[in-house]
Structure 1
Amino acid sequence: MTQLQAIVAAASVLSLLSPGADAWSPTNSYAPAKVSCDGKTGLTRKGGSISDAEASWLAKRDPVTSAALKTFLDRVTSNFADNSIVEQIFSQKAPRAGYAACGGGYRGMLLDAGTAAAMDDRTPGANEHGLGGLLQGISYITGVSGGAFYTSTVAYNNWTSVQEIIDQMNDGDHSIWDLSQSPLNPGGGDSDYTNQLFADVKQSIQDKADAGFKVSLADAYGLITGYYMYPGLAQGGAMYQWSDIQNVDKFSNGEMPMIIEVTAIVPPGATTAGLDATTIELNPFEFGSWEPSINAFTDMKYLGTELNNGDPVNSDECVVGFDNVNFITSASTDVINYITTQGNAMYNSMVAQFQQKFLGNITTDRVDTNIISPNPFKGTTFYDSSSESNELVETDDLFLVDGGYGGQVIPLTPLMRQERDLDVVIATDNSYDTTEIWPNGHSIISTYERQFMDIGKTDAFPYVPDYETFAGLGLTETPTFFGCDGSNLTDLAYVPPLVVYLPNRAYSYQSNISTYTFTYTKEARLGMIQNGFEIATRNNLTDDSEFASCIGCAVMRRKQEQLGLEWPSECDRCFQRYCWNGTLVNNTTPISSSASNNGTSTTTTTTTDGASYVTELTTLSSSEDFSTIHFETSTTITCDECEQPQPTVTTTTIEEDCSDSQAQATTTIECEECEEEAKANGNGNHYTTYTSMTTTTEVCEECEEAQATATGSANTNENSNGSSSGSSSGSSNGSSNGSNESSNNSNGSSNNSNGSSNGSNGSNGSNGSNGSNGSNGSNGSSSKVSSSVPTILQVTTSTPTYSGFSVVQNVNAANTVGITTGLTVLAMITALMGLF
């Protein structure tokens, strides 16, 4: 790939906004300014609908997304026996799609970027090996925390592609996402660069304070990160506003999605935001909340204007320039609040030094939040009068923190709103939920539960299972569709969009890197982006060659339901594979270790790692036809820095009297020279899982038939691909209702389910085996029903690639980027304290 130098990167990737009254700070600095309102009043409106400006923009965007989705769906359904459903849908009304980019610091940003690249037809190979063209059909993209780093980067680099960013990516040249140096030492060995950057940041904050506006360390945090996201803008974007997106040609012409970032309000008297805190959405037109505590939106351009019930308090005096792009992105990504709320003396010392360095003698109401002052909702009466408190419309200031602090690390709420009429939402989950930095479903469960709280009563979200079910069914190991059957969601506030859930897992790169890792080499960044591509595409469509078609089915589902169109059999098979149908692990009937009922005998085998697998042998009537029995078992072994285990397949053919035939399942795992290493590491954290299959073929005439099935318990250990038992203590408030949701099952016998799974990455960063191409899933039963062992038919060792990204293997990656444990905040502070 072409590697450009910093000046070329700034010129070729970035198309600068033109300076002017509407596209540049009126003070030519970070400081806002007071200007004439030009007779404007009513700058705050009641919620309950999208703004007129958004509606006008959608009128331009909808024809673009309709054409793009039609092209995408025609391509991914071209293998259907009958894909006339596409034409039928688009003759009525095109679907509308959204993308929720999850948080997680730089980990989230890079993985979200990889998912976007997988959906972008500007990425070489995305059409052939991914979901190319889907991004062009998306209407809205939301971001929080690390996801907001991704969204703001592409928005303020003129809707650049991830591929363009990759093509100019380097270490040490201050190009976009040059993360080779920490934000606390952005120049590395170039102290002049660091000193000048920090001096500019301090001066920007001083300018804002001198103009009469409240400041905090969140201003410094946002201004510093701007140099990493918008290196081609003067001082990292210190003079550009969030509302400037309205003036970007690609946005104003409807050629790019609307970017929405999410933040949360710290309740008066509280230190941080919880799940019940009011969330604020930040879109190019407005700043506001749908939630009953506020239920109002104000004009983004005039944020900072003193208002009473939406009208300027000082006649014809408005403020512009307050909505600085770095300040807005900081509100959605700020980590300062986390540091200050830990009650740690060293943390407090570090914050005090930051405060002295960047704020000097400036006094501040709160050092750790983004301060919105004056409050644009003061005096408004749009809030729910039945609420216990109207404190958010009475207070003078609003204090904003990272929108994921309450638990909603996936910014789903703005995309779920009925007013935006979305049909499907693609949602990444890069959360730091487990000790090994993998998701366990916490974020999506939080969003689901929140709709049953007073703060979320105007929201709707599909049923999702509890933590135990997420772990037991392996829902964080493969994509899962939630809300597949709209008829089962009618008891919610409204029928929400179908959600395609894409959890972080390791394919070609060990992507469980700590949120508090602030430096990434170029190789690490490329590895993370590529892994994000593979998460979104089921390993470049090698785990399931029909996955792009299944995403197409998810896009069409709501419109198919609304129009009453016949559902293609191919989509039915997809939904059998990917839809969660309401099954809960803690509601399933356990199988006894030894039982016999109606001709069915069961046995339970517990492997040395404690994982239990149940084999059922069922005797059917002699009239049933007999074919081949497939036994599948999965064995997890503990190996540290040893040779990669190799699975073997055993085939037994029995040609004798059926009464004597025995079905056997055999798994052989070889792992040499690892026993001592495992013991030395306390049995280690490196778990390698391989699946092998035993096929027993019986040739029998006029005799009883034996059928065999294999199911696995949830009693498996965590592996290096991110499998986690999760937490069994939390359960969804609406779990009982969740069981009502089911996929659109068709009748008929089961087909062999040919979806594949991956071997996990071995120790020391070696690559796991990639699964084979998938084919048809079971027709008539759901792959999300039980924690069955993977239906893998063969194991390959090649690493699929596509032409757009260079392949970066993760050998010894832990030595360079701190994989798994990462940099904790404490370690970061200890290492960097000397800078201050």
Structure 2
Amino acid sequence: MRLPTSSQVFFTAASVLSAVQAAPGPTPLAAEVDNLVTRAFSDSPSGGYAPGRASCPSGPLVRNANDISSGEKDFLKKRQPITDKALTDFLNRASMVDFDVKAFMSSYSPTIGIAFSGGGYRAMLSGGGQFKAMDSRTPGSTAVGNIGGLLQSAKYVAGLSGGSWLLGSVVINNFTTIDRLQKAGNVWDFENSILAPEGALHIVDTTLYYNDLNREVQDKEKAGFDVSLTDYWSRAISRQFVNYTDGGPGVTYSSIAKSDQYKNAEMPFPIIVADGRNPGEEIISSNATVYEYNPLEFGSFDPTLYAFAPIEYIGSNVTNGVPNETGVCARGFDNVGFVMGTSSSLFNILITQLDSVGLTGVLKKLVETTLTAISAADNDIADYSPNPFFGVNPGINPSANTTDLTLVDGGLDGQNIPLHPLIQPTRKVDVIFAMDNSADTVRKNGELSNWPNGTAIIATYERAIKGSQNNGTLFPSVPDVNTFINLGLNNRPTFFGCDARNITSDTNKFPPLVVYIPNSPYTFNSNVSTNEMTYSASERDLMIENGYNIVTRGNSSFDQNWPACVGCAIVRREQERKGETQTAQCQKCFKDYCWDGTRNSAVPNDYNPTALVSAKSAAANGARSWGTAIIALLSGLVSAALLL
């Protein structure tokens, strides 16, 4: 998508910056740091952010979405014995009474999915603690009362927006651990803004940094690819999440499939989610085309596309999956930062936040003009041009005749938990552990209180029952947001879909049981604004610790049967298919945690949860927020142009 004249101010500023000598690369990482977080590796043929020419693989570059890919099937086949062993160990540690783990596992291999919601750094850090608790590599996570090994038992893991930053940070750095990310120093350091010093106006100190961002993005544009604000955002966030010089401008999402950890199926199959948005379209859960990125493919199961393309070759000029120039493709378009940046692109809300940055006078006017022009030009998106699905399924695909495919934040359709890829019937997922770190609650005075209230899971349920985009997916019933709050379902784990026969009598179509785990205060008031961009090391670690406590229920101090109840949820779908009765222990677990259909839709009082353990609070700093940091990027570019 080429920017119109009305937004030339942004790229005029950027082009002036390109004349400035680039900042030297960062000091090479010390060996001990590299040992903490194994480095990602560059895979783009250009060696940088720009995609490069490459030979095409044999066969078409698109397929119908009537099944998962053969590559995904091969991965799962290799992953199954690993998950079987891990799950056997987990169930044995879970102290399940009167349940024969060996007999169950000898006849069935459950498919577990884990989903991490969006919500900026709050979601990434709370989710990081949840991830850490489920990872058997975390010291102490397999002790009594813990749930370490659940991650190793999972076949799928998905993230969107802030959840994609968590997932991307781990898998692109060769499936590292949260512990290592915390200790590394060069990644997951949120003491300072990724885009500018406090106030965003220390232009002399930051001009060279902006020039580096601009140079990388302009390399892509000079190679013939359209760019948008998402490209700048992507290059900025990469520097915090990708362990490679300058945030790995040549590191691709498809490079995950070339890592030993993926080849050996040591990680769950990782999926990141974004939404398609046609020009001028308002996205809602019932109409959005939900796109997924996995290490092998990019596309959607939705009937408004129903196709996938090899992710390594998106950026190629194709018509109905056939290269326009025989044998000539592109590689490197799937930059991992661009994938994470696409899943977290929320620029259409930023124009309302100018006053909070402290900009005044001419500079404020320039930035305001720039943001307005970006939004008016539909450039508040991620531009996937050339469209990988040009000419594909024109009878159902609204983007089939457009050369641009435009994508936005994966939570803008309301489905802020990436459940969509995990409820596809072809993946046959038995249970989903859904981490909801959304910010939904609003006080009566209009202030955001930033706790989840079930909005995200409700959006997925409503999409499933409305039919037009559900592609045959089924989803358990869930109540309204008022019931979530009035019954405390947003303050503790809740199981949805405990009786699959209430959803369908076809045992071959049982949907997953969903274990909903909302953000709540255990040891830290983790309801930090989505816009918050800066965390001290202690605040970061307290957020992670609280996330650990959320998913373990305080190391089972609030319910000593919690690990067993997790096990009961995992095995339930196969028990139902076989007509087996639950053990007394599992029946009690389901009585304690299953939503029983009760509703209380009365308007609740302000939701102000009490800390389950003595909790601390993060220091709010709106001047260093997510939204204002994006504006800082623009003001930095514009201001530098004025000063040079």
TM over 0.5: yes
What SS does the aligned partner of 1:127 have? coil
Contact 1:242 1:325 in 2 (8 A): yes
Distance 1:190 1:238, change over 3 A: farther
Contact 1:268 1:391 in 2 (8 A): no
- State the Cα deviation string for residues 112-159 of structure 1 (Å, max 9, x = none): 010011111111221224211111111111000100000000011111
Counterpart pick for 1:470 among 457, 479, 484: 484
Counterpart pick for 1:77 among 77, 87, 95: 95
Matched residue, 1:292? 303
Matched residue, 2:184? 168
Counterpart pick for 1:14 among 37, 49, 67: 37
Which amino acid is 1:130 matched to? N
Matched residue, 2:274? 263
**How far apart are 1:502 and its partner, in Å?**
0.4
**How far apart are 1:191 and its partner, in Å?**
7.7
1:239 aligns with 2:250: yes
Which amino acid is 1:295 matched to? Y
- State the Cα deviation string for residues 218-257 of structure 1 (Å, max 9, x = none): 0000000001101x31210211111101101001110111
Distance 1:326 1:243 in 2: 12
1:28 aligns with 2:35: no
Distance 1:289 1:831 in 2: 32
Matched residue, 1:752? none
Distance 1:186 1:311, change over 3 A: farther
Contact 1:180 1:522 in 2 (8 A): yes
Matched residue, 1:135? 151
What SS does the aligned partner of 2:402 have? coil
Matched residue, 1:485? 499
Distance 2:572 2:154 in 1: 16
Q: How does 1:484-563 map to 2 (within 5 A)?
A: 484-490=498-504, 494-563=509-578
**How far apart are 1:376 and its partner, in Å?**
1.2
Which amino acid is 1:46 matched to? N
Distance 2:205 2:39 in 1: 23
1:98 aligns with 2:121: no
Distance 1:563 1:139, change over 3 A: same
Q: How does 1:692-731 map to 2 (within 5 A)?
A: 717-718=605-606, 720-721=608-609
Name the one with the larger helix percent.
Answer: 2
Distance 1:509 1:9, change over 3 A: farther
Matched residue, 1:107? 122
Which amino acid is 2:620 matched to? V
Which amino acid is 2:429 matched to? L
Distance 1:355 1:60 in 2: 53
**How far apart are 1:565 and its partner, in Å?**
2.9
Which amino acid is 2:419 matched to? L
What SS does the aligned partner of 2:110 have? coil
1:817 aligns with 2:630: no
Distance 1:207 1:235 in 2: 14
Contact 2:207 2:636 in 1 (8 A): no
1:218 aligns with 2:241: no
Matched residue, 2:406? 399
Q: How does 1:148-227 map to 2 (within 5 A)?
A: 148-168=164-184, 175-185=186-196, 194-227=206-239
Which amino acid is 1:156 matched to? I
Distance 1:345 1:212, change over 3 A: farther
Distance 1:575 1:273 in 2: 33
1:458 aligns with 2:472: yes
Distance 2:162 2:624 in 1: 16
**How far apart are 1:468 and its partner, in Å?**
2.4
Distance 1:93 1:715, change over 3 A: same
Distance 1:341 1:293, change over 3 A: farther
1:446 aligns with 2:459: yes
Distance 1:134 1:824, change over 3 A: closer
Matched residue, 2:333? 322
Which amino acid is 1:449 matched to? E
Distance 2:481 2:285 in 1: 19
Which amino acid is 1:44 matched to? V
Count residues in correspondence.
Answer: 597
What SS does the aligned partner of 2:554 have? helix
Contact 2:195 2:633 in 1 (8 A): no
Contact 1:44 1:310 in 2 (8 A): yes
Distance 2:409 2:363 in 1: 22
Matched residue, 2:81? 63
Distance 1:831 1:298 in 2: 33
Matched residue, 1:422? 429
What SS does the aligned partner of 1:100 have? strand
Distance 2:125 2:174 in 1: 19
Distance 1:471 1:193 in 2: 47
What SS does the aligned partner of 2:587 have? helix
Contact 1:44 1:296 in 2 (8 A): yes
Contact 1:266 1:273 in 2 (8 A): no
- State the Cα deviation string for residues 407-465 of structure 1 (Å, max 9, x = none): 01101000111111111111111111112111111000000001123122432211111
Distance 1:319 1:818 in 2: 42
Contact 1:272 1:341 in 2 (8 A): no
Matched residue, 1:590? none
Distance 1:33 1:25 in 2: 7
Distance 1:535 1:45 in 2: 41
- State the Cα deviation string for residues 656-696 of structure 1 (Å, max 9, x = none): xxxxxxxxxxxxxxxxxxxxxxxxxxxxxxxxxxxxxxxxx
Distance 2:38 2:632 in 1: 39
Name the one with the larger strand percent.
Answer: 1
- State the Cα deviation string for residues 552-592 of structure 1 (Å, max 9, x = none): 10011111112333321100000000001222225xxxxxx
**How far apart are 1:111 and its partner, in Å?**
0.5
Distance 2:275 2:287 in 1: 10
Distance 1:291 1:429 in 2: 23
Which amino acid is 2:346 matched to? V
Contact 1:68 1:133 in 2 (8 A): yes
What SS does the aligned partner of 1:459 have? coil
**How far apart are 1:305 and its partner, in Å?**
0.9
Distance 1:92 1:368 in 2: 50
Contact 1:267 1:273 in 2 (8 A): no
Distance 1:223 1:832 in 2: 14
Distance 1:328 1:829, change over 3 A: closer
- State the Cα deviation string for residues 74-95 of structure 1 (Å, max 9, x = none): 11035x1x221x2222111211
**How far apart are 1:718 and its partner, in Å?**
3.5
Contact 1:13 1:157 in 2 (8 A): no
Distance 1:715 1:295 in 2: 40
1:312 aligns with 2:323: yes
Task: Please report the RMSD computed on the Cα atoms of aligned residues, expressed in angstroms.
Answer: 3.2
Which amino acid is 2:403 matched to? D
Distance 2:560 2:404 in 1: 53
What SS does the aligned partner of 2:275 have? strand
Distance 1:89 1:415 in 2: 23
Contact 1:103 1:148 in 2 (8 A): yes
1:251 aligns with 2:262: yes
Counterpart pick for 1:433 among 416, 440, 448: 440
- State the Cα deviation string for residues 316-337 of structure 1 (Å, max 9, x = none): 1111111111111111012223
Which amino acid is 1:441 matched to? G
Distance 1:255 1:831 in 2: 38
Structure 2 gaps, min length 5? 1-27, 443-448, 640-644
Counterpart pick for 1:146 among 162, 169, 190: 162
**How far apart are 1:469 and its partner, in Å?**
1.6
Structure 1 gaps, min length 5? 170-174, 587-713, 722-759, 762-767, 771-798, 800-808
**How far apart are 1:828 and its partner, in Å?**
8.6
